[in-house]
Homo-oligomer: A and B are copies of this chain.
């Protein structure tokens, strides 16, 4: 059912469009031009029209989009028009925070199974979902028909958890572990990695008035021509 010819970057933008349109609906806005929608989101009108062109027509040229039709259409393209059961692996501090997080679009995703390694946590409950032993993943996940997994375990066990998720039939993984996991081509991964995000931001900062630590020799900044031995 997926359309491999649609660039992933377009797919990544659709949730942002959807969120903006749902907010417009809440405000009673019924119709919007690609210019106005773009202005709200911070992309050009041309970009929006190009993105939507992958999905046939969402509205009539020059007439603007019907907000609800467009929102429902995007939700349908993203397959948010049903409820997906999600398996959460890891029930440490991060896992617990995710289990209690209410920000996932409540109608589309439901944490239906939670797995922990620590015996102290097995048997705990979150909203009626009982935390199970990680060792039962490969039985429970296929039985429940779960296709989405959230990894919230330490970096060094993230790959083995990913392998077991894939073996259990999971096709999409949201990875909170600070590690890159390798999966077969039919499985999609998104990373939630604030440390890397922060580290890739400092690259862009002015260093004026911010002396580096003396441990480092910065005479060769920004590129080094020879490795130090």
Is the pair A201, B180 in contact by a Cβ cutoff of 8 Å? no
Find residues 18-50 in chain A having any chain B CB closer than 8 Å to their own CB: 18-20, 23, 41-42
Is the pair A19, B178 in contact by a Cβ cutoff of 8 Å? yes
Which of the residues B14, B79, B199 comes within 8 Å of A205, measured between beta carbons? Answer: B79
> Among the listed stretches A58-66, A112-120, A121-129, A130-138, which one makes contact with chain B, having 4 or more residues with CB under 8 Å of it?
A58-66
Find residues 173-188 in chain A having any chain B CB closer than 8 Å to their own CB: 173-174, 178-182, 188
Residues of B within 8 Å of A107, CB to CB, are: 213
Alpha-carbon gap, A148 to B23, bound state (A): 29
Residues of B within 8 Å of A197, CB to CB, are: 174, 190, 192
Is the pair B172, A55 in contact by a Cβ cutoff of 8 Å? no
Best-buried of A82, A192, A225 by chain B (most CB within 10 Å): A82
Is the pair A198, B174 in contact by a Cβ cutoff of 8 Å? yes
Is the pair A201, B188 in contact by a Cβ cutoff of 8 Å? yes
Residues of B within 8 Å of A220, CB to CB, are: 56
Closest to A147 in B: B205
Q: Please encode chain A, from 1 to 22, with 1 for each CB lying within 8 Å of some chain B CB and 0 for all others.
A: 1110000100110111011100
Alpha-carbon gap, A109 to B58, bound state (A): 45
Which of the residues B41, B195, B206 comes within 8 Å of A147, measured between beta carbons? Answer: B206
Is the pair B204, A171 in contact by a Cβ cutoff of 8 Å? yes
Is the pair B55, A199 in contact by a Cβ cutoff of 8 Å? no
Alpha-carbon gap, A91 to B145, bound state (A): 38
Is the pair A228, B81 in contact by a Cβ cutoff of 8 Å? no
Residues of B within 8 Å of A42, CB to CB, are: 180-182
Is the pair A215, B78 in contact by a Cβ cutoff of 8 Å? no
Task: Give the distance to chain B from A23, nearest Cβ to Cβ, in Å.
Answer: 8
Q: Known contacts A103-B194, A194-B192, A216-B72: does B221 contact A78 (CB below 8 Å)?
A: no
Q: Known contacts A147-B205, A172-B205, A192-B194: does B14 contact A200 (CB below 8 Å)?
A: yes
User: Can you list 16 contacts pairing A with B, beta carbon distance less than 8 Å?
Assistant: A1-B222, A11-B203, A15-B196, A19-B178, A19-B196, A55-B224, A58-B224, A81-B212, A81-B215, A82-B210, A82-B213, A98-B194, A103-B178, A104-B195, A147-B206, A192-B197
